[in-house]
Amino acid sequence: MFLAETEPYDAIILDLGLPKLDGLSVLQHLRSSGNEVPVLILTSRDTWREKVTGLRAGADDYLAKPFEFEELLARLEALIRRSSGHASPILVCCNVVLDTGSARVTMDGNPIDLTALEYRTLEYLMQHPHKVISKTELTEHIYDQDFDRDSNVIEVLINRLRGKLDTGLIRTRRGLGYQIGGPDVGT
């Protein structure tokens, strides 16, 4: 509960059978305190009544064990997309189209070859159009926790993306971060 209240997660996977405080109580506390992060309940409790109880307590989705990892991943991707205001797996900004289902990026209909880090960077920026994303936030979403945050790798990634895409698509907001689809850039 402490981490959910202090860290900016994209989504939370919550088990109902927690040792000290049950998952429904944790969920109800998060929702009553205004935390709107998408929550997927993952549990062995699979009756329809338990699912309804979990959803009414504020869960966004419910997955019973056993499950296939691909289903869990697809549900998380959908939750994160919807929480960012994107119901479709297709993200569009100006002439760039990113298909999260196939991990394919095109510009003016032509495929763009991106590394995994370039793809994750572009995907995160496109999931948050017009928002200024700080270097720290971007680092937290594309790297493991132990990454050196003082590195200039983010600047290098952004410059490589600019070289592969329209140079004006990603703007640097001095002292603030990066922005895709800003006021003088198309949607």
Tell me the domain boundaries of the chain: 2-83, 90-180
Specify the CATH number for 2-83; select among 3.30.565.10, 2.40.160.10, 3.40.190.10, 3.40.50.2300: 3.40.50.2300
* pLDDT tens column, 68-77: 998 998 899 8
Q: Which residues pair with 110 in a beta bridge?
A: 107
pLDDT higher than 60, residue 182: no
Q: What are phi and psi of 175, to 5 degrees?
A: 75, -5
| 67: pLDDT strictly greater than 50 | yes
In angstroms, rounded to a whole number, what is the distance separating the alpha carbons of residues 159 and 21?
46
pLDDT above 90 for 7? no
The listed CATH number (1.10.10.10, 3.40.630.30, 1.20.59.10, 3.40.50.11690) that belongs to domain 90-180 = 1.10.10.10
pLDDT digits (tens, 9 = 90+) for 108-143: 999 999 998 899 999 999 988 888 999 888 888 887
Q: Per-residue confidence at 187, pLDDT binned at 50, 70, 90? A: very low
Contact of 40 with 59, CB cutoff 8 Å: yes
Rounded to two decimals, what is the model's pTM? 0.64
